[in-house]
Amino acid sequence: PSGDLFAAIVPIKNELDLVLISTKDGRIFSNLTRGYSNDYTEILVGAFDGTNDLTWSSDGNEIAFAVRQEGTSHLLVVNVLTGKIVADIHIDGIRDMKSPCFSKDGSKVYFSGNKDGFFDIFVYNRETQLTANLTNDKYLDKNPRVSPDGAEVLYSSNRKGFFKIYTLNLKNSEKTQLTTGLGNDIQASYSVDMKSVYFSSDRFDDIYNIYSLNLEDGSMKQYTNVLTGAFAPQERVTFDHRESEERKQLIFTSYYEGRYRIYRMMNPDERGIDYQVKSDNYSVYRAKPEKLLFKMDPGFKNEYRAKKHFMVSNVGLTAGVTDDGRFLSSGNISFSDVLGIHNLQVVLDSISSYDSYYLTYLNKKNRWQWGASASFYQYFLVDFYYIPGTRFERVYKNASATAFARYPFTTFTRVDLGIGFRDQDFYTLQFSEQGSPYYREVDQSKPFLYAAYSLDTVRYAYFGPIQGMGLDLVGEYMQDTMESGHLSFRAYKEMTRRSLLAFRLYADVSNGDIPDLFSLGGSNRLRGDFYYNQFTGTRRVLATTEIRFPIIDVLHLPFGLILNNVRAALYVEAGGTWFQGDDFNFEFEGDTYDPDHFDVKAYVQYPYLMGTYGLDVSLNLAGMELHWAWSKRTNFREFPTGSRLSFWIGRKF
């Protein structure tokens, strides 16, 4: 309002932000929505819909704008001085709340919204928290703007296929049409003296440009004639201290070279050109008169049946290689009906010659969702005890059927409760009479229960996660057999547009007569030239910190070869596995089995926690993510000079 700053919604880094920009030099003065927020999903903009996205209060202390939150729209009011959200406006029964506008004293907020399928202009009283429908008609109304004296509201209303400018008297609710002719007239605003109305219209050559309507004699003027369109005109009056006089400015936006820019036209009265309504040449209207292209036949109405609208919704395929040469693959295909109520997912995984299959159905009709799953799972653990000095693999199998219920608290959080039956061919660590450890095979079939809590606020860039966090907490119980808990946490902090700090923590524990076994080692689960799944125990912990940054965006090679997204990560990792009753130690060169110094009791009582640090370089090739990791093992007291190189294919956490 003072003319020193203007507010705009602009893309900064990887999101839209509401910023204040200096009118003197165009620099950003303040970012009012800096950083990522979980209070809303995104700021709503209608740049290509002719929608006013934000508004100032008359005293210049507040700005209102629209956001999407939990699948619906809200209006937020931010204090310009503190950057804090001072009001969150959401009215049950009104959707698509947009185009906010303050009353003259700031006590009310006008906006457009959808109530029962009709788009009208509403007013919200911030003191009483009551809402009233001002237009309440069958027409599509949008873009309210309050007059300088606070007595009227300008808005656009769709009549006979075109948006026209209307004014609403706030005292007697009388509606008056101001503009006529062909074309759409949108984003109207009063001049400071209330003698004219500025608006954007596509009435000439189907291109939106800036016009004005004189409210005293009905004459019109055209101010811009640009091919890419001009929108959202507003008049400002500033005082020129050098000339000791007031000067008018016309502020508007225009689309140019793929982006919207804000322009200032000095002395618009001298630059406006007289325009006659008879000059309207809305060619689209003349070439294609309105007609009903499709008429609904009531005889075709019937009950919705999902099986007739079931289709493939997603297909995915990934492949990889561990640093010890094992081939990994994962394929999935998802099915869903048109409404997204019924969802079916099929997943096929393999590692070396071990195959696993998963089938999951989820019904999302209600807030309390339900589903069922079936799986057959094959995996292996490394047995160093069977033949000392030899790496022997034990294969275990797991077949299960589960029924579960799911309740999403918010867009980012949910809880799962499940019951199922599991048949497993498993191994458990035992000790002989001489105290030597060995793995005993166990075959059992029992029911089980589980509960899980999930939180996911991760945002993604073209190269992967960039900001946010993910948390999974899972508890499992099998009667007289096993009690397990699992924690998976990952967090990302954006440093620049393409660099970030990443952290993850895995922690697993299992107790009981036949506890779960957890494996660790290889690829990006403890780098440092360890074997894949080299370490096993009933407890597992892994912590990783990475600084990720770009090296090469695109590299063009001969014969049309292209390498893109070459990135690197400096990392530090610490992790290990152990069994119940064992102690915990750091140990340099921390292999759980050293053929030159093999001591069963030492291993059982003093298991190893390994530490590594190094550099991981990755690139995309033929849809695969290739990694070269230079790692150094450490106990965080000694840091060797030699490094170990490992290669693997797969995705980072």
Structure tokens, 416: 């799962």
The reported pLDDT for the residue numbered 424 is 87
pLDDT at 545 over 70: yes
Tell me the pLDDT tens digit for each residue of 401-435.
999 999 999 889 999 999 999 998 888 887 777 77
How far apart, in whole angstroms, are the C-alpha atoms of residue 143 and residue 202? 16
Of 65-74, 191-200, 595-604, the least confident: 595-604
pLDDT at 273 over 70: yes
Q: How confident is the model at residue 389 (pLDDT cuts 50, 70, 90)?
A: low
Residues 615-642, mean pLDDT to the nearest whole number? 81
Residues 366-390, mean pLDDT to the nearest whole number? 83
The reported pLDDT for the residue numbered 439 is 81
pLDDT at 588 over 60: no
Q: Which amino acid is at 284?
A: V
DSSP state of 128: T
- DSSP string over 325-385: S-EEEEEEEEEE-TTS-EEEEEEEEEETTEEEEEEEEEE-SSSSEEEEEEEEEEEEEEESS
Residues 582-603, mean pLDDT to the nearest whole number? 49
The reported pLDDT for the residue numbered 604 is 39
Q: How confident is the model at residue 293 (pLDDT cuts 50, 70, 90)?
A: low
C-alpha distances (whole Å) from 66 to each of 18, 51, 99 are 11, 11, 7
Sheet containing 5-12: order of strands: 5-12, 15-22, 28-31
The reported pLDDT for the residue numbered 283 is 58
pLDDT at 125 over 80: yes
CATH superfamily of domain region 1-145: TolB, C-terminal domain (2.120.10.30)
Q: How confident is the model at residue 48 (pLDDT cuts 50, 70, 90)?
A: confident
387 membership: H or E segment, kind and range: none
Percent of the chain with pLDDT over 90: 45
The reported pLDDT for the residue numbered 451 is 97
pLDDT at 606 over 60: no
C-alpha distances (whole Å) from 53 to each of 58, 97, 111, 142 are 17, 11, 10, 11
Tell me the pLDDT tens digit for each residue of 501-512.
999 999 999 998
Higher pLDDT, 577 or 405: 405
Domain made up of 306-649: CATH architecture? Beta Barrel (2.40)
C-alpha distances (whole Å) from 598 to each of 363, 368, 430, 520, 591 are 54, 54, 18, 20, 11
Q: Where is mean pLDDT largest: 28-37, 250-259, 445-454, 577-586?
A: 445-454
The reported pLDDT for the residue numbered 62 is 94
pLDDT at 284 over 70: no
State the Cα angle at 501 between 496 and 503, rounded to 5°: 155
Three-class SS of 11-58: EECCEEEEEEEECCCCCEEEECCCCCCCCCCEECCCCCCCCCCEEECC
The reported pLDDT for the residue numbered 602 is 40
Higher pLDDT, 592 or 418: 418
Sign of the torsion formed by the C-alpha atoms of 34, 36, 40 and 45? positive
Residues 122-137, mean pLDDT to the nearest whole number? 94
Q: How confident is the model at residue 585 (pLDDT cuts 50, 70, 90)?
A: low
pLDDT at 320 over 50: yes
Residues 218-233, mean pLDDT to the nearest whole number? 92
DSSP state of 531: P
Percent of the chain with pLDDT over 70: 91
The reported pLDDT for the residue numbered 71 is 80
The reported pLDDT for the residue numbered 594 is 43
Q: How confident is the model at residue 605 (pLDDT cuts 50, 70, 90)?
A: very low
How far apart, in whole angstroms, are the C-alpha atoms of residue 222 and residue 58? 28
The reported pLDDT for the residue numbered 176 is 93
Q: How confident is the model at residue 41 (pLDDT cuts 50, 70, 90)?
A: confident
Instruction: Show contacts of 248-252: CB within 8 Å, 24+ apart.
Output: 248/192, 249/3, 250/198, 250/210, 250/223, 251/6, 252/200, 252/210, 252/224
The reported pLDDT for the residue numbered 601 is 40
pTM for this entry: 0.80
Residues 461-470, mean pLDDT to the nearest whole number? 92
Domain edges within the chain: 1-145, 306-649
Of 76-85, 317-326, 643-652, the least confident: 317-326
Residues 105-119, mean pLDDT to the nearest whole number? 93
Direct distance between the N- and C-terminal alpha carbons of the chain, in angstroms, rounded to an integer: 48
The reported pLDDT for the residue numbered 311 is 87
Of 157-166, 386-395, 442-451, 548-557, the least confident: 386-395
How far apart, in whole angstroms, are the C-alpha atoms of residue 608 and residue 530? 13
How far apart, in whole angstroms, are the C-alpha atoms of residue 537 and residue 592? 11
Average pLDDT over all residues of the chain: 86
The reported pLDDT for the residue numbered 556 is 83
The reported pLDDT for the residue numbered 603 is 42
pLDDT at 13 over 70: yes
pLDDT at 376 over 90: yes
Of 139-148, 465-474, 594-603, the least confident: 594-603
The reported pLDDT for the residue numbered 457 is 93
Residues 48-65, mean pLDDT to the nearest whole number? 90
3-state SS, residue 232: strand
Higher pLDDT, 432 or 87: 87
3-state SS, residue 647: strand
Of 189-198, 321-330, 469-478, the least confident: 321-330
The reported pLDDT for the residue numbered 425 is 87
Residues 554-571, mean pLDDT to the nearest whole number? 85
Structure tokens, 534: 């080299």
How far apart, in whole angstroms, are the C-alpha atoms of residue 580 and residue 485? 14
How far apart, in whole angstroms, are the C-alpha atoms of residue 561 and residue 463? 20
- DSSP string over 410-479: SSSEEEEEEEEEEEEEEEEEEE-TTS-EEEEEEEEEEEEEEEEEEEE--EEETTEEEEEEEEEEEEEEET
